[in-house]
Structure 1
């Protein structure tokens, strides 16, 4: 049973900040903290200094614990990171390379080699980056995923990786093993890859030195986490078959739950495995709110939302990629941000970008339907984009289906729930998560509004097809569903 009197720490290593939440088993937030992160972008390159993750965690965890009730027991913690972010470390898990972030695209040639070896990887996945890093740094080194570095600092020893983060490094979740024959053929040396455990597995406990640095009590159990997309899915409570969570942050991630894996021969949709052995299919797009920040770095989002409401639909149709290349709902490394037509003014362009993310989201769901994924459960919006009531309504209108918006929309909450589940050693993760999740709002699509966006959505689908990015059968399937809501079978 989950300790009802304890607090549970969730740690989220995001792109722009480290977030920490201290939460009780019933979802009461006792404390929160954050600290900013910065990175270096240059074309397809995207790096961060991994040592800054630890410094940011120390700041954020002290803030989260600063308002905790006296004598509160911290029952455990878990850490999530951006999926596909990796670095090389020495034998003590000290960094010897920068961290190549989730969307770093410089390992395109290595990804092609991996696919030729029979591994279904995308260009920005962790395995191609590992091969690229080996070519740059060589030596007897160890690969670390983003949370591995933090866990090693918390516990004082290099940890095994969780299977969720290991997925994009080539880990075979069906066989629960590394594909050694293929990896040997790619020149991956012995000792580079860590051992792997399921999420929720106890990895150790917070050391005295880490407690002094972070304020987290020494002896606090550290549980294996999951990727940020899976963490947000747990935070949404979308863990029962047919349920889906759409995480709108810098980029867009859709994660669902199914009894069986959703098979995709192109590798665009991939399947994480939940701690209980069920499957979490989904994919990560390069479309997202980062496109708004890039175009309007000093904008007031609420004010722009209010002005954008006059442009439904916008004069322009956008596919607002944050960085070059698309990963989901189609794989097109050559894809670039797309705007069809001329926006009347800034508010019209803002509207086009908001609507463009909604169109991409719809196309993701249409593609999942094309693959036979179950879509008939509830849909939940999380991520920073879910803080915008206008954008939530717009997305529900475009998708033609209701959406739930939880009170807390953060991956850190999902890691608190996973920590509570793992530390208890019993129960069902969905039950633990649903007790912590508090739904703030139910957004229903406005009558007749889905039809308003059908024509611009169809134009975008055609433009993506005509550029050779979206396969014609997928475009045809999207057209066949223009008048239907995205939960329809």
Structure 2
């Protein structure tokens, strides 16, 4: 028995086949290219189909028991009524329509004043309508849905996870009535089902199941699917995902939630801080050497990769700063690492203030886990064990979802393995953390 997960990333398509115990049977990938022009970011959806066909052929799993697909959150295109693309894919970080956010908020201030972000899909859909696309003759299709339709041979429903940034109401479980005031016909939007719902079958008879966005897929791969367990993805930026039995209401808009396929919610947020700052501040340094020499320093950098913060607080005016002296590259390096760990701790404090279960463990994924020093530092600053999963791959998360049969948490318990556990040590950074938070408040970033 084998289940296949597909991950449609920005730079590649990855496929992974796993058995019922979570052992990886085969993997394959193909590169993707995209086009950036100013704030615009587009991709040719035909690339996805070509790459998916190639990786599935390389996996050589003709009798797979199921396939599920994840993709970047908020990436979509318009198709004609037969499912053929009529626009490029507008990517998750395309900001061409940021100015249209105000129109969406005006249509339903209670719902969207804090929850709608300017790079989400809905503002870009309004922009396409303004450019002349008639939605009575076109359909909104998310990237994972477009590939699923290719595999089964007909248009498919979307899932609640991919639908979130297109404006779907996860509480009422419907596309919102406010779409009418925005001039958006409901027939242009797909039916919505829970992740794990069968969408159709390939010509070979393999079921294709509704997937989730890449952040949720990484959370599944980390096994963080019960209250108190969290997944922290640290790459260019920092993303946290966890579980709560009830919907967390964040009046600041920093936290948003997906639906848990087993019931309940998957709250989290995406910061504008992360490891991406290291390549900017230390472009010629040997980061591995710095990591081996690293030790705590009395300095911290607020590690914004760009102006403006979105989680654990919303502050469009936020700018990078450093407290303390950074006299050499090693100080600069450690000050950034400590800053990310502090933002991570502040994020968990914010989530708990909203009613989330106290943090009992954190699974670490993302490129930054290559730094052993950083992994231990994060355990020390958070004061809880951190876990490194054996297969921290969104494609693996989708293989787990495909195998779930309606019981995702149970499937993850069978298939997800922890490779390393790092226990927190007594640490001396609490005073510096307090100074850091006080400086954020002094600058007015936390409201």
Identify whether the pair has TM-score above 0.5, normalized to the shorter chain. Answer: yes
Aligned length: 440
| Structure 1 stretches of at least 4 aligned residues deviating more than 6 Å after TM superposition | none
- 2:360, 2:344 → 1: CA distance? 16
Larger mean Cα displacement after TM superposition, 73-82 or 288-297 = 288-297
Work out whether 1:373 is the aligned partner of 2:356: yes
Task: Give yes or no for the alignment of 1:412 onto 2:398.
Answer: no
Q: Secondary structure at the match of 1:404?
A: strand
Aligned: 1:110 with 2:100: yes
Specify the SS of the correspondent of 1:188: coil
Alignment CA distance shift 1:299-1:155 (3 Å) = farther
Aligned pairs (5 A) from 1:221-370: 221-295=207-281, 301-307=287-293, 309-310=294-295, 312-313=296-297, 315=299, 317-340=300-323, 343-370=326-353
In structure 2, the gaps of 5 or more residues are none
Q: Which residue does the alignment assign to 1:482?
A: none
Q: What is residue 80 of structure 1 aligned with on the other side?
A: 70
- State the TM-score, normalized to the length of structure 1: 0.83
Instruction: Report the counterpart of residue 187 of structure 2 in structure 1.
Output: 191
Pairwise mapping of residues 452-467 of structure 1 onto structure 2 (< 5 A)?
Answer: 452=429, 454-467=430-443
Aligned to 1:148: 145
Question: Partners of 2:326 and 2:38 in 1: how far apart?
Answer: 26
For residues 371 and 48 of structure 1, what CA distance do their matches in structure 2 show? 37
- CA-based RMSD of the aligned residues comes to 2.4
Unmatched tracts of structure 1, length 5 or more: 1-5, 208-217, 472-489
Distance change (3 Å), C-alpha of 1:470 and 1:74: same
Q: Distance between the aligned counterparts of 2:424 and 2:165, measured in 1?
A: 35
Asked whether the 8 Å contact 1:232–1:414 carries over to 2, the reply is yes
Cα distance change of structure 1 residues 436 and 10 upon mapping to structure 2, 3 Å threshold: same
Conserved? CA contact 1:313–1:456, under 8 Å: no
Q: Is the 8 A contact 2:175 2:186 kept in 1?
A: no
1:39 is matched with which residue? 34
Matched residue, 2:45: 50
Query: Matched residue of 2:195: which SS?
Result: coil
1:161 positional shift = 0.9
Give runs of aligned pairs for residues 70-219 of structure 1, distance below 5 A.
73-118=63-108, 119=112, 120-139=115-134, 140-180=137-177, 182-207=178-203, 218-219=204-205
Please list the CA deviations of residues 321-349 of structure 1 after superposition, one character each: whole Å capped at 9, or x if unmatched: 33443321122334444445663333333
Asked if the contact 1:379/1:402 (under 8 Å) is kept, the reply is yes
Helix, strand or coil: the match of 2:65? strand
**Residue 477 of structure 1: aligned partner:** none
Structure 1 residues 352 and 410, CA gap change in structure 2 (3 angstroms): same
Equivalence for 2:7: 12
Cα distance change on mapping 1:75 and 1:346 into 2, 3 Å: same
